[in-house]
Amino acid sequence: MTSKALYLHVPFCAHICAYCDFAHVGYCSSLVNQWLEALKIEIEDKKVPENLETIYLGGGTPVSLQEDELEKLLILLDPYCQKIKEYTIEINPEVMTLEKAKICHRHGINRASIGFQSSDKRLLKLMDRQHDYTEVQEMIEFLKKVGITNYSLDLLYSLPGQTMELFQQSVNDALALEPKHLSLYSLTIEPNTLFARKGLKPLEADLEADMYEWICAYLPSQGYDHYEISNFAKKGFESRHNQMYWHYEDFIGLSCGASGKENHERYDKSKNLREYLKNPLEYKKIPLGKEDEQFESIMMGLRLKEGIDLLDWKEKYQENMVEYYDKAFQKHLSNGNLVLEGTYVRCTKKGFPILQSILVDFL
């Protein structure tokens, strides 16, 4: 089956945020030029299909590239954009310009994922974010001016020192910007981050849970459908690209720090830019057996509000899911964490927040 989704990782940032553990290096023009040459080799070798439906440019910070560099990157992808339905770029407000917005629009980008995180100046400083709320407003005006009106905002909660009141204010400030989509993630402190080196911790589990419960009640009241465990959207503006992941479709991964899944195999590109530049075609293969794929499809599918279509699953794996995972299903159907509705199995409101513990029983 030909992959219809492509993820491309841009490993450069103007500066490194205190919580970030993605593959990244500080911006350097000579490294960007070497990276673009390596990427060209990888794209040609990969034989990227021309019937892609979604492209997602993540990072790092794709718009940390200078305008001519961003243009060169998008030119490399132009041949594969003829049938694109959703073309997303991640944006950090501090490095976005009107000219970069024009370049994005000119090459068919029709969706932006914006690193908003918080509207509180103290928390932004703690995270080493170099923007404020006014700059986010200005950047959204750039997008609207060129015709990119489909934009999503990322927010973090459970930040050190964050109160419920501060979090609610950030959510309302985000809503005032009229996004079509919101992604809200609880802080996880990864080992190789500045937060970890400083010994910072997320909030107490009870307060974090209260924040999530409030989001789940409040955002639907504001017209946003809670369509995935951490994601909310106006009707018709759910992320097409991310749904490829949640529906466990194959996808192509390009560049340093990217991962992909194709033909019963997952692969990871090196997170080390120097290694990638030496050999852009090298990657680590992880073969996926039938049981791996069955479990991973459940792990991803139960993140969606709609859940998993049992008929599709049976067609794909030649197994009855409820019978195959009988013990886990019976436990979580009886305790109200999962529910069967028609041909679908899904998490209940009670089950969503504890999905990780539910999945342990499916292992």
pLDDT tens-digit map of 211-252: 999 999 999 999 999 999 999 999 999 999 999 999 999 999
Which of 246, 266, 292 is the last residue before a domain boundary?
A: 246
Clarify whether residues 239 and 310 are in a common domain: no
Clarify whether residues 25 and 128 are in a common domain: yes
Clarify whether residues 102 and 187 are in a common domain: yes
Clarify whether residues 53 and 200 are in a common domain: yes
Residue 1 binned pLDDT confidence (cut-offs 50, 70, 90): low
pLDDT score recorded for residue 2: 78
Side chain identity at 305, as an amino acid letter?
A: K
Treating both helix axes as pointing N-terminal to C-terminal, what angle do 290-301 and 310-317 enclose, rounded to 10 degrees?
160
Clarify whether residues 213 and 328 are in a common domain: no
- Residue 247, Cβ density class (10 Å: 0-12 exposed, 13-18 middle, ≥19 buried): middle
Q: How many residues does the chain have?
A: 363
Instruction: List the CATH number of the domain containing 178.
Output: 3.20.20.70
pTM for the model stands at: 0.95
List the domain range (segments joined by +) for residue 239: 5-246
The residue that leads in pLDDT, 363 or 165, is 165
* 261 in any annotated domain: no
* 139 in any annotated domain: yes
Going across the sheet that includes 308-309, the strands are 308-309, 344-347, 338-341
Which of 214, 246, 278 is the last residue before a domain boundary?
A: 246
* 13 in any annotated domain: yes
Can you tell me which residue has the tokens 């970069």?
A: 100
pLDDT tens-digit map of 10-22: 999 887 666 766 6
pLDDT score recorded for residue 115: 93
Clarify whether residues 90 and 163 are in a common domain: yes
pLDDT higher than threshold 70 for residue 159: yes
Clarify whether residues 242 and 310 are in a common domain: no
Clarify whether residues 47 and 138 are in a common domain: yes
* 169 in any annotated domain: yes
Question: 10 Å Cβ neighbour count for 291?
Answer: 11
Clarify whether residues 340 and 224 are in a common domain: no
Clarify whether residues 101 and 239 are in a common domain: yes
pLDDT score recorded for residue 23: 62
Clarify whether residues 188 and 45 are in a common domain: yes
* 296 in any annotated domain: no
Q: Beta strands 344-347 and 308-309: pairing type?
A: antiparallel
Count of domains observed in the chain:
2
